[in-house]
Amino acid sequence: MLFFHLDLDAFFISVERILEPSLVGKPVIVGGDPKGRGVVAACSYEAREFGLHSAMPIRKAYQLCPQGIYIRGHYEEYVRFSKAVKKILEKYFPQVEQASIDEFYLDYTGCERIHGHPYFFAARVQTEIRHELGLPCSIGIASNKFVAKVASDYAKPEGITFVIPGQEAEFLSPLPVEAMPGVGDVMKEELNSRGFYTIGQIAQAPKAYFAFLFGKYGEVLHDHACGKGSEIIDIKYEQKSISRETTYHTDTTDIELIEKTIFELVEDAGNALRSENFMARTIGIKLRYSDFVTITRAKTIREPTDNDKVIYTITKELFHKAYTRRVSIRLVGVHLSGFVPAIEQMDIFPSREEKERRVLKTIDKLKSKFGEDIISYGVA
C-alpha cells in the first residue's frame, strides 16, 4: 500500500495572491478587520515570522504584525480553486479522498507501473498544480494515511517527503509530539508533563499506559506513534458543516454586542453556505465563558434554509436560551450542518423566501467584488 497526502501550502493566502499579485512576498493575514473581534483564518509564511498562526485573535495578530495586510478573504474562490486541484488529481489517481478544502489523500497503490517512482511522480503533480493553477503544495508519501500526512507537514513549504515502507517508526521517532495530527496545545502539555517530548518516546512506552490515561484515544495515539495508520480511502467527500466563531479581545456581558457579533458570523457563514449551493437543516451556537466553560446548542428545522434572516433568528433564540450564567462571554460561534443541495425556484411569481434568497445572492456577489463593508442585509 502507498498513499500520498497533498496539502496546499497556505492555501487561502496563495489564492489571494493569485487574485492580487501585489500581495506576493508580503505578510498577509486572512481574517478581516485587525481591530475587530475575529480570529486569523490563515496567514502567509512572512506573517508567521512575527509569531502569527491560525486561530489567533486578530487583534493580537495586529499587535505582533501591524505592518501586515489584513483581508476578509474570498471563500467562493477558495472553493473554485479546490475543485480545480481535485480535477487534476482525478486524472492520475484511482481514488481521491478530499479531507478538507486544501488537503487530499491519494491512493498510489499499484500506480508505479503507470507513473513510475512515487517521489518523481509527486514532483510532476506538484509542478502541474503550480503551473496550471499557480498554487504551491507539499506532498507526503507513506504506507498509510497518518504517516503520509505527517510527512507532508514535514516537507512544508513546497516539499516532498517519501517515507520508505518499513521505516515509518524511524521517521516519526525524533519528531516532537505536536507533529502528530490531533495533538494540540493541551495534549502537548499533558504529554510533556509526563516526560513525552518526542513521538519515539510515546512508541517506546507500553500501549496499556496510554489506554489507561486516555482510553481509546490513547490506544490510537500509541498506534500512530508506532507508524500505524488507516489504509482506507474515503472517496465520498462532502462538506459536513460550516462554522464561524470569534474570540473577544475583552470578555463581555454586553447582550447587544453579542447579538451584533452573532449577526456578523451568520452573514459570513451564510455567504459560505450559498457559495457551496447548500441549505442547512441544523443551526447551532457555541458559547465559551471567561472561565473557559464551553457549551453548544443546536436546532434542527423542518425546512432547510440558506437565508441569513432565518438563521440569525434561530441563532439568537438559541443564544438567549443558552446564556444562563452571570459570567462574561469569551467566545461566540455559529455552526451550520445537515446540508442539502439548494434548488432555486424559477417561478414567474417567486415566493417571499425565494426573493430574499435572490437578494442574498446579489449581496454575496457585491461583497465579493467590492468588499465586505459595501452592503449588509439588515435583520430587525
Task: Please choose, from the candidates 87, 82, 89, 110, the residue with its C-alpha nearest in 3D space to the C-alpha of residue 12.
Answer: 82
CATH number at residue 153: 3.30.70.270
Q: What is the count of structural domains for the chain?
A: 4
Structural domain includes residue 377: no
Q: Assess if residue 339 is contained within a domain.
A: yes
Q: Tell which residue, 158, 164, 157, has the closest CA to residue 141.
A: 164
- Note whether residue 278 is domain-resident: yes
141 shares a domain with 7: yes
Describe the chain by its helix, strand, coil percentages, rounded to 5: 45, 25, 35
What nine digits make up the cell of 292? 473557559
Same domain, 107 and 123: yes
Residue 145 is assigned to a structural domain of this protein: yes
209 domain-assigned:
yes
Query: Which helix (H) or strand (E) segment is 190 a member of?
Result: helix 185-193
Most trustworthy range by pLDDT among 4-8, 215-219, 340-344: 4-8
Segment 165-224, tens digit of pLDDT: 999 999 999 999 999 988 888 889 999 999 999 999 999 999 999 999 889 889 999 999
Mean pLDDT of 234-252: 79
Taking 60 as the threshold, does the pLDDT of residue 365 lie above it? no
Cβ 261 vs Cβ 246: under 8 Å: yes
Write out the three cell numbers for 347: 417561478
Given this model, what pLDDT does residue 238 score? 59
Residue pair 3/144 in contact (Cβ under 8 Å)? The answer is yes
- Do 337 and 251 belong together in one domain? yes
Q: What are phi and psi of 284, to 5 degrees?
A: -135, 165
Among 103, 168, 245, 276, which one carries the catalytic annotation?
Answer: 103
Residues 314 and 332 in one domain: yes
Q: Is residue 230 part of a domain?
A: no
All three cell numbers of 71, joined, read: 483581508
CATH of the domain at 61: 3.40.1170.60
Residues in a beta bridge with 98:
104
Q: Which is more confident, 241 or 16?
A: 16
Rg (CA), the chain: 22
Judge whether residue 371 has pLDDT over 60. no
Out of 165, 187, 205, a domain closes at: 165
DSSP, collapsed to helix, strand or coil, labels residue 142 as strand
Residue 37 is predicted with a pLDDT of: 64
pLDDT in tens, 91-136: 999 999 988 889 999 999 989 989 999 999 999 999 999 999 999 9
d(CA 1, CA 11): 28
Reply yes or no on whether the pLDDT at 379 is more than 80.
no
Annotation says 356 is catalytic? no
- In a shared domain, residues 310 and 183: no
**By the 8 A CB rule, do 65 and 50 touch?**
yes
363 assigned to some structural domain: yes
- Cβ within 8 Å of residue 40, ≥6 positions away: 29, 30, 31, 52, 53, 54, 55, 56, 57, 58, 61
Is there a domain that residue 355 lies in? Answer: yes
Q: Do 309 and 324 share a domain, yes or no?
A: yes
**How does pLDDT run across 135-160, given as a tens digit for each residue?**
999 999 999 999 999 999 998 999 99
Q: What is the pLDDT of residue 357?
A: 57
> Same domain for 272 and 219?
no
CATH number of the domain at 199, please: 1.10.150.20
Mean pLDDT estimate for the chain: 87
Q: Which of 165, 180, 213 is the last residue of a domain?
A: 165
For residues 160 and 179, membership in a common domain is answered with no
**Across 281-289, average pLDDT:** 94
Same domain, 131 and 62: no
Find the length of the chain: 380
Residue 309 pLDDT more than 70? Answer: yes
Co-location of 130 and 254 in the same domain: no
pTM over 0.75: no
Cα–Cα dist 261/264, whole Å: 5
The residue range of the domain holding 152 is 3-11+75-165
Read off the pLDDT of residues 35-78 as tens digits, 9 standing for 90 and up.
Answer: 876 778 899 999 999 999 887 888 899 999 999 999 988 888 88
CA 61 – CA 48 distance, rounded (Å) = 10
Is residue 202 within 8 Å of 191, Cβ to Cβ? Answer: yes
pLDDT at 249 (0 to 100)? 81
Are both 119 and 174 inside the same structural domain?
A: no
Let me know whether 79 and 159 are in one domain: yes
